[in-house]
């Protein structure tokens, strides 16, 4: 029986999620339902913290950094949904 490495599989799922978010954002921008703002910075910094810096820091600190990255990504999603809904109501 073939066993997948959790790290590779997990990273693949994360990348798939990022690509889905990116595709959705691009579609909303093309349809003029979303105009990017400062929340894109939250997404970029969150992804940088979660995917990048987490691997370069010692173990106890890496999870703190990763958690901060996840919180920034969640903040982006909340702001993105608010903006799209506000544009839909206008």
**Angstrom distance (rounded) from CA 56 to CA 19:** 24
**Angstrom distance (rounded) from CA 44 to CA 75:** 12
Chain mean position to CA 8: 18
pTM of the predicted protein model: 0.70
Instruction: Note the pLDDT of residue 90.
Output: 67
Low-confidence ranges of the chain (pLDDT < 70): 1-6, 54-55, 57-58, 90
Domain borders along the chain are: 6-89
Instruction: Note the pLDDT of residue 55.
Output: 66
């Amino acid at each position: 029986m073939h066993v997948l490495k959790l790290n590779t599989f997990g990273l693949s799922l994360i990348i798939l999620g990022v690509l889905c978010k990116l595709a959705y954002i691009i579609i909303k921008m093309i349809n003029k339902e979303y105009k990017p703002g400062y929340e894109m910075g939250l997404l970029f910094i969150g992804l940088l913290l979660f995917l990048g810096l987490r691997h370069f820091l010692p173990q106890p600190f890496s999870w703190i950094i990763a958690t901060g990255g996840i919180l920034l990504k969640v903040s982006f999603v909340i702001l993105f949904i608010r903006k799209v809904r506000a544009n839909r109501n206008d």
